[in-house]
Amino acid sequence: MPPLSTRKPGRPRDQALRAQRREQILDAAGRIFAKRGFSKTDLEIVAQQIGVSKGTIYRYFRSKSALFLAAVDAGMQRLDALIDQSIASADDPLLGMQRAVRAYLEFFDANPYIVELFIQERAFFRDRKKPTYFIYRERNHGKGHELARQLAERGRIRNIPPQRLVTVLGELLYGAMFTNYFAGREQSVDDQFRDIMDIVLFGILSDTERGAAPAGN
Domain ranges (residues) in the chain: 69-206
pLDDT of residue 11: 43
> Alpha helix locations (H) across 3-128?
11-36, 43-50, 54-60, 64-88, 93-110, 113-124
Radius of gyration of the chain (CA): 22
What does the DSSP assignment read for 163-217? Answer: HHHHHHHHHHHHHHHHHHHHH---S-HHHHHHHHHHHHHH-SS-HHHHHHSPPP-
pLDDT of residue 182: 96
pTM, two decimal places: 0.88
pLDDT of residue 213: 62
- Give the chain's length: 217
Predicted confidence (pLDDT) per residue in 92-139, tens digit? 999 999 999 999 999 999 999 999 999 999 999 999 999 999 999 998
**Exposure letters 21-51 (e unless 16+ CB within 10 A, then b):** beeebbbbbbbbbbeeebeebebebbbeeee
pLDDT of residue 160: 87
Give me the residues of the chain with pLDDT under 50, please: 1-2, 4-5, 7-12, 217
Distance from C-alpha of 72 to C-alpha of 79, rounded to nearest angstrom:
11
Pick the CATH number of 69-206 from 1.10.357.10, 3.40.50.300, 3.40.50.150, 1.10.287.70: 1.10.357.10
Q: At what angle do helices 11-36 and 64-88 cross, to 10 degrees?
A: 100
Contact 30, 74 (CB under 8 A): yes
pLDDT of residue 3: 52
